[in-house]
Structure 1
């Protein structure tokens, strides 16, 4: 049973406090240790927020307006949700998602997606849908995979870290991957934001790419989130001209080898229906740990 506790904020609304006194508020710097401890209950599933804490050092709202909603019960942080361009639940019980959804809705932001462990993601989506946030697509089952130790196949030595001098080759490949994955161009609205994101990943050493002697990107991936324990691979893309040649497993093995320079565990999540990619990951040695979901708006 969730305890009945005193209100957290004098300015709370009915939507912010549940019938058992469970309350939601925006986290501040003083909440950083509690948020980190909560996320460390599952460092693979929560690598996104842990990576943010590593880079920013704080649970407080960012200069760009992103914040973290914390769910409290009896003084204890029992769940959280990143709220920036996307919503990302952190150890959030699905039964508590109505309070978070109400807070996210009142924040007045437009969210590009919700992603993370399937149960809280789908529960958040259900509540937000009732509040008028209609999804473009719901990907309800995305196996969460991870590998530690050496990959089961030989790594392709041609894959390396991206160099900013190759930005003009890498950016179109990243945009092509994005459009294949979500169905529209990442440059809609503003090319600058996505370009800066790609350039930032290259400068951080989180861009992995093979560019042939003619300047063509054959394969690329990014480490979208990095901590000392876990990396999360995103943006895996094989140039269509080179698909069907059996190259993917070697490239993914190389991704693992390079990612292990940052952390011992390499993770990713993949659409359940992408049987070809899932077979490649299994061949490399990835094992399923759980299920993610993504809701696209």
Structure 2
């Protein structure tokens, strides 16, 4: 019987999908959060998940929504996913995940989906358990909904600096503001405010039962070099591992040496390498 190696998975295969996601809890966190919240029905999850392997045993996964994310993708799986997905118009804004799979996909998809706005081939994936071995900053706290006018400019500055494009372009920032407000309301956004100014911010952008993924870490430019980031991150880690998930994780650009030093001081360890292709 002819086996079709890649197929879209449905709710009846949710158990198999969750078992695979659990095998790579840090790299698969974004997809695991989506599946836990919405299942595998694409109209609810705002994305589709493809499986590679036989109908009895799915070996690799690939999420296609706002982002394209391969999970536990072997070289044959990468080739099969690229062949299946590359026939469609590109709608995702990035390809992100473990570097070998992401770069393998991009090698096969570039001629169809390119050019990319940026390719970041080496992003250390880091994780930590428990509080940091650094005294936390007592002034870092959860942001409040009534502070959105204070927080949003800092969030825009962080996004523009990190991604290389403004989140205000497409819809004046309404969608991005909703996203930030959702994180604040979910008690997943942290700030340090000094004299009415946000000087540090970070969010738990992804939360699963295994990890809370920290994103959006930002220090106001005029406060950089003063040593506030380490204690501030320690405060985020203490709250997140005490209240939200047993571990924290993140990925960082390899060239961001100051941030990598902060994370090292906070007790993060390497759990692999990510890559990101931005469109």
TM-score w.r.t. the length of structure 1 is 0.89
Question: Are 2:235 and 1:276 aligned?
Answer: no
Deviation at 1:256, TM superposition (A): 0.5
In the other structure, the counterpart of 2:43 is 62
Listed one character per residue, the Cα deviations across residues 22-60 of structure 1 (whole Å, up to 9, x for unaligned) are: 52122211121111001111112211111112222x122
| Partner Cα distance (2:57, 2:81) in 1 | 16
Secondary structure at the aligned position of 1:157 is classed as: coil
- Equivalent of 2:246 in 252, 260, 264: 264
SS in 2 for 1:131: helix
Q: Distance in 2 between matches of 1:64 and 1:117?
A: 22
Post-superposition shift, 1:131?
1.8
Distance (Å, rounded) in 2 between the aligned partners of 1:63 and 1:50: 14
> Is the contact made by 1:27 and 1:61 (CA closer than 8 Å) also made in structure 2?
no
Q: Which residue number corresponds to residue 101 of structure 1?
A: 82
Q: What is the alpha-carbon distance in structure 2 between the residues aligned to residue 77 and residue 104 of structure 1?
A: 17
- Partners in 2 of 1:232 and 1:65 — Cα distance? 20
| 1:39 equivalent in alignment to 2:32 | no
> How far apart, in 2, do the equivalents of 1:280 and 1:227 lie?
24
The CA RMSD over aligned residues, in Å, is 1.5
Aligned-partner SS, 1:217: strand
Deviates more, 1:227-236 or 1:100-109: 100-109
List structure 1 segments (4+ residues) > 6 angstroms apart after TM superposition.
none
TM-score by length of 2: 0.94
Query: What is the match of residue 130 of structure 1?
Result: 111
Secondary structure, aligned partner of 2:265: helix
Q: Kindly indicate whether residue 183 of structure 2 is the aligned counterpart of residue 201 of structure 1.
A: yes
Which residue in 2 is equivalent to 1:50?
A: 32
Q: Find the aligned partners of 1:201 and 1:74 in 2 and give their Cα distance.
A: 38
- SS of 1:221's equivalent? strand
2:268 maps to 286
2:222 — aligned with what?
A: 241
Contact preservation (8 Å) 2:34, 2:45? no
User: Do residues 113 (structure 1) and 94 (structure 2) align?
Assistant: yes
Shift of 1:132: 3.4
- Which consecutive residues of structure 2, in runs of 5 or more, have no partner in the other structure? none
Q: Is 2:12 aligned against 1:30? A: yes
SS in 2 for 1:271: coil
